Structure 1
Amino acid sequence: MRILKIFNNSILLAQRDDGSEVVVRGSGVGFGRSTGEEVPEELVDKTYVPSGATPVERVVQLLLEIRPQVLSVAELILDEARADLGAKVSEHALLPLADHLSFAIERVESGDVATYPLRWEVGTLYPRETVFARRALRIVEREVGTKLPDEEAVPLALHLVNGQFVDGSMALAAHMTDVLTESLTVIAERWNGELDVDGMDASRFITHLRYLIARCLEGKVVPGLDVRVAEALREANAAEYEVAAEVAGLLEREFDFTVGEDERLYLTVHVARLATRAAKG
């Protein structure tokens, strides 16, 4: 890596051999250096890859503003989340999470209280992330000495959701939460039943939708179904296919992507399971 810009003794902008830009942090990594020199990689503690949601300028700004202790806590939380959830939480989630923790700690220290309107939805749609987020609050208290309010579990859970599925903003994670809730409502209203949102079928449906949204945002396509299997699914589950198409249309409007026919058929299978439960309930 070669040095492109020196921000202080500990933070550099560097260029990798493939031409991509990264921000590196390390004690003394920039001391006595000049642009164009090789980065002393033995002094690099952490490398940050900019993203669409967190460009180079924002990465540097956050590294200059956030206390090293809070950055370390955010890293610890993500490491433990990966182990606890068994999920791939992107490194892109680190700085937004650290930024949020920094503001949350400042609010508590100044006596301010934040409220989050999506508390029920987040707890219902992302139960595992919410449970871990409460554990993360205890990690912050242990490592920093500041007790954050229980309400902070809501945005922390959303950061974990966002880190698993999209390289985007918290606004996108919150929007996805609204759309998932509306999708469940579409199914419940169609069969005039109450959905067991805590049940296994609802959990599988939500997980399927989360991955569907992630695939479509990334332009990925699921393996195609056999033509005869696809036709049989449509014929045997006509009402469920119609609702799946309604949910697919909702996703297309809200996220501006196309939900292919195979995705609609996989969605039909999950809708059929939920419809059976709703009709019985």
Structure 2
Amino acid sequence: MNYKAVKVFNNNVILAEEEDGKQVVLISKGIGFGVKKGEQITAEGDDKKVFYILDENVNAGEIKRLSYDIEKVEQVTQGIVQIAREKLDITSEKLYDALYDHISFAIERLKMGLPIDNPFIGEISIMCNKEYEVAENAASLIKEQMDVDIGDAEKGFIALHLYSARRNKHINVAMKSARVFKQAVIMVENRFNRTFNTNSSACKSFLMSLNRLVDVSAKQKPLEMPIKQHVKLYMYEYDEVAQAIARMIKSELGVEFSEDAKAFLAVNICKFIQM
């Protein structure tokens, strides 16, 4: 669908017109960057939102509430970067720009009343536990300076940005790791016909153990499980799931578990479903 720009509020929000003259609000990350009044815009894709203005009396002045104080976002972002450098020793020069774009877009969504969903929040809070603590500081700063409650889902996304910057990896890599952790829980659920709350102590304990095993295996640190043969013989149903999860982790993350690591994982699965 093509639109004509009527007013650009910021990089992410535009007041536009359809061919029949109907006014709409277009929201998408970066959609307004460099756009001038009267230019044609194409809004397609899952990340682009179109909101029709049903009340003919609504004008551009009234839509200004969608905008935000740019200086406050800049100050908040600088504050978060400073905290991240102090607590996480992050030196990446790209962190400010990544956080600024993300936070400004999130605030616009929240002001529009659009929910922010993060299906991996439980996994992120474990996998990126140090970064998540800083993200909670960020949420407090945003609430204090901009009077916006970003919620747990958004804390998770900020934590992913910090995790990415700390390890000098693209955020998609961090997101993939969170998805793999979630899939591991699903595999346990399917095998034993159980359903787990990712916020439960049992699930958190399992994810923490899995996170440590992935970290140790990625660094190729030696692990020793003296009873690994007993695990295979007498805990075979847990071992089967551990073997399947290990194959999935190798395929998705390129991290290979030793037989000892798989035995540890099997024992952790046993504990998980009984807690």
Residue 190 of structure 1 and its aligned partner are, at CA, apart by 0.6
Q: 1:159 maps to which residue?
A: 161
CA displacement 1:227-258 (0-9 Å, x = unmatched): xx222222221110111001001101101232
- d(CA) in 1 for partners of 2:104 and 2:198? 35
User: 1: distance between equivalents of 2:173 and 2:124?
Assistant: 15
The CA distance in 2 between the partners of 1:123 and 1:130, in whole Å, is 11
Kindly indicate whether the alpha-carbon contact (under 8 Å) linking 1:116 and 1:154 is maintained by their aligned counterparts in 2. Answer: no
Q: Is the contact made by 1:240 and 1:275 (CA closer than 8 Å) also made in structure 2?
A: no
Residue of structure 1 in register with 2:9 after alignment: none
Q: Which runs of 5+ in 2 are unaligned?
A: 1-72
Q: Show the counterpart of 1:122.
A: 121
> 1:202 maps to what in 2?
203
Listed as ranges, the matches of 1:238-253 within 5 Å are 238-253=236-251
> Would the aligned equivalents of 2:228 and 2:263 in 1 still touch at CA under 8 Å?
yes
The answer to whether the 8 Å contact 1:161/1:173 transfers is yes
Q: Which amino acid aligns with 2:209?
A: H
Is residue 234–residue 241 contact of structure 1 (8 Å, CA) maintained in 2?
Answer: yes
8 Å Cα contact 1:137/1:148 also seen in 2: yes
Distance 1:116 1:171 in 2: 21
**Structure 1 residue 77 displacement after superposition:** 4.2
Letter in 2 for 1:216: S
**Deviation for aligned residue 1:146:** 7.6
Separation (CA, whole Å) in 2 of partners of 1:116 and 1:173: 22
State the partner residue of 1:186.
187
SS at match of 1:173: helix
Q: Is the 8 A contact 1:105 1:148 kept in 2?
A: no
Can you give the 5+ residue segments of structure 1 that lack an aligned partner in the other structure? Answer: 1-65, 83-88
Amino acid at match of 2:125: Y
Partner of 2:235: 237
Deviation of 1:105 (Å): 4.9
Contact 2:213-2:261 at 8 Å conserved across structures = yes
Which one of 260, 263, 272 corresponds to residue 261 of structure 2?
263
* 1:234–1:167 Cα change, 3 Å: farther
Q: For residues 185 and 69 of structure 1, what CA distance do their matches in structure 2 show?
A: 37
Name the amino acid aligned to 2:221.
V
Per the alignment, residue 174 of structure 1 pairs with 175
Cα distance in 2, alignment partners of residues 136 and 68 from structure 1: 12
Aligned partner of 2:27 in structure 1 is none
- Which amino acid is the alignment partner of residue 222 of structure 1? P
Structure 1's 195 and 148: CA in aligned 2 closer, same or farther, altered over 3 A? closer
Q: Deviations over 1:100-132 (max 9, x none)?
A: 3221354478x5669787613214651666575
- 1:177 Cα shift? 1.0
Please give the alpha-carbon distance, in whole angstroms, between the structure 2 residues aligned to 1:256 and 1:271: 21
Q: Counterparts of 1:187 and 1:181 in 2: how far apart (Å)?
A: 10
Q: TM-score, normalised by structure 2?
A: 0.59
Compared CA separation, residues 104 and 168, structure 1 to 2 (3 A): closer
The structure whose residues are more often helix, as a share, is: 1
1:76 to 80, 83, 105: 83
Structure 2 distance, partners of 1:100, 1:249, is 33
After TM superposition, list the pairs within 5 Å mapping 1:27-176 onto structure 2: 70-79=77-86, 82=87, 89-92=88-91, 94-107=92-105, 111=108, 119-123=118-122, 125-126=124-125, 130=132, 133-140=135-142, 142=144, 147=148, 149-150=150-151, 152-162=154-164, 166-176=167-177
The aligned length equals 197
1:272 Cα offset (Å): 0.8
